[in-house]
Structure 1
């Protein structure tokens, strides 16, 4: 059982492990199976395990296990427990944001309980680097500063933050009405150049008034800067509260 705040990367960990060890990966969301639009949820639970047995060795991921326990019927929970009695060739993993709401009968289905904590500073730095492409104007020192300032952010929070930072120069570009042509070097080819449009001031002697959408395929992709991250952090805060972290510490 993987326990941790939403967005900590629990599902990603299980999917990666399944790929590394060569197991089939079968998952389902508890939110879907307990939905009022789902017909015969008990049978769907049985079908899930049957599918896994047909593809074993397999890893089964039960996502949002707390939702299954809180909203699932007694018959659905009974079907789940019964299916876990025959696990030959199967590995059952669950992910939950609220392990403290799980009844003992469900907890006993899992041998190990593992806390997936929020990423530390070095992990945040590595994730941020992986999320950003080469088109950034952020120094090594600035990246370190961003990783420090994002303490308490989950992996999902960092993904959202990076997307917002990347969108800021694009939004600014879309609001620009004056552009000029410049010649830039092709990436990976020092002997080749290409013409493209870049934003400029109205007073620039080469300025041409036009709509960015009309030249979208000829625009020079804007770089992401440290300032973009600073502004993004003003609105994109951590989604994990201190109260939630305290609950995990007390439960563990």
Structure 2
């Protein structure tokens, strides 16, 4: 009988590698799956702490940052809100007061209407409430639009640049909705400045034979919204309507009343013309013999826009003389140093011969007559 028939006599096979290990290794407990702690290193611990503190500060900073306010267009179509935000909403026009030469009286009135109520809100209450509207009257090119942008830049208000094409629509009733939505957005983004350029195209005389029914409804809604700007419920929200026109006689009397301040933006005087010349010639090399006061005397009757055009024309005279009679291939080889020469008196004389003034004396007298009757400075 074979001994292998008894299963109890069959020994269990052991690994030879285990037999060869010493007893201390055999008795050692099995290693855990967790990683051992890092070695003691003060530098690495301080770096980790700094990273944790930095991440905590970033999270705290993100929490402190206010999320941008989003206008809720409840009751209005989404495409109307998109139209206004895309076309007329400007956060920062970036026009400083120092870039507007002269016009000290107009600047003082605009500061009193827009800037000071924001700086002194406790004072401008009750009978001292801010002016609800300012109308700027004057020839084209005298700086009316530039003044409105400077106001929005200096006081940090939201600037709404409105034109007739933005607020008019071919669909019935949509123009009135746009007007109401405009003022709702202005109240939401307050302090705000609504600038309506060429307001005579929107607020002409009512009751004429050529007036359409839709135009009359539009004007009625605009009148209602302008009257409700500084109501008791929105007294803390500064909203100012600034308008500009070249034809003040065409404005309806109801709109004229709502513009409590009516300011004349005149042609620049001697000091303003000289200051404007220096502003326009910034960044351009000027001949040392050039006297801006002499040129300012020759620019009497020119608007601010006309003076800018004269300066631009004079600054290009050296280039015109250099490229005269040359082919395009020869012009490409000319270096900037060869054409970027100092502006001389001769350049301004040639520019004055090419650029004439755009406003007549009859236009100036017409604005002065309107201001004598309806002005409110």
- TM-score of the aligned structures, taking structure 1 as reference length: 0.78
Report what 1:235 is aligned to.
354
1:176 positional shift: 6.0
Deviation for aligned residue 1:36: 7.2
Structure 1 SS opposite 2:279 = helix
Is the aligned partner of 1:97 residue 2:246?
A: yes
Question: For 1:211, what is the secondary structure of its paired residue?
Answer: helix
Question: Of 233, 249, 252, which residue of structure 1 is paired with 2:368?
Answer: 249
SS of residue matched to 1:91: strand
* Cα deviation 1:93-130 (Å, max 9, x = unaligned): 11111111111111111111111111111111001111
Distance (Å, rounded) in 2 between the aligned partners of 1:29 and 1:248: 23
Identify the residue that residue 186 of structure 1 maps to in structure 2: none
CA distance in 2, matches of 1:35, 1:227: 51
Contact 1:176 1:212 survives alignment (8 Å): no
Q: Is the CA contact (8 Å cut-off) linking 2:289 and 2:344 kept in structure 1?
A: no
Matches within 5 A, 1:217-236: 219-236=338-355
Rate the CA distance shift 1:224–1:35 in 2: closer, same or farther, 3 A.
farther
Q: Does 1:29 align with 2:163?
A: yes
Give 3-state SS (helix, strand or coil) of 1:238's partner. coil
Q: 2:199 aligns with which of 61, 65, 79?
A: 65
Looking at structure 1, the residues matched to 194 and 255 of structure 2 have their Cα atoms a distance apart, in angstroms, of 15
Residues 49-93 of structure 1: CA deviation (Å, up to 9, x unaligned): 222112101111111111213488112211211211221421111
Change (3 A) 1:220 1:102: closer
Equivalent residue, structure 1, for 2:99: none
Q: Report if the CA contact (8 A) 1:31-1:64 is conserved.
A: no
* 4+ residue segments displaced more than 6 Å: none
Please give the alpha-carbon distance, in whole angstroms, between the structure 2 residues aligned to 1:167 and 1:10: 27
Which region of structure 1 is more displaced relative to structure 2, 76-85 or 147-156? Answer: 76-85
**Residue 44, structure 1, aligned to residue 178, structure 2:** yes
CA deviation vs aligned residue, 1:121-161 (integer Å, no higher than 9, x gap): 11110011110134121535x31111001011111111111
Instruction: Compare the two structures and name the one with the higher strand fraction.
Output: 1
Go from structure 1 to structure 2 and tell me whether the alpha carbon gap of 1:31 and 1:159 turns closer, same or farther (over 3 Å shift).
farther
1:160 is matched with 309
Q: Which has the higher Rg, Structure 1 or Structure 2? A: 2
What secondary structure, in the 3-state scheme, does the structure 2 residue paired with 1:136 have? coil
How many pairs are equivalent? 219
Report what 1:198 is aligned to: none
| Structure 1 gap segments, 5+ residues each | 178-209
Aligned residue number for residue 204 of structure 1: none
Q: Aligned partners of 2:167, 2:289: CA distance in 1, in Å? A: 47
What displacement does 1:220 show?
A: 5.0
Question: Structure 2: any 5+ residue segments left out of the alignment?
Answer: 1-134, 205-210, 372-377
**More helix by percentage:** 2
User: Where does residue 82 of structure 1 map in the other structure?
Assistant: 224
Q: Which residue of 2 aligns with 1:150?
A: 299
The 1:19/1:211 distance shift into structure 2, 3 A limit, reads same
Q: Structure 2 CA distance, aligned partners of 1:58 and 1:26?
A: 8
Cα deviation for residue 35 of structure 1 reads 8.2
Higher RCO, 1 or 2 (CA under 8 Å, sep at least 6)?
1
Distance 1:32 1:107 in 2: 22
Question: 1:2 maps to what in 2?
Answer: 136
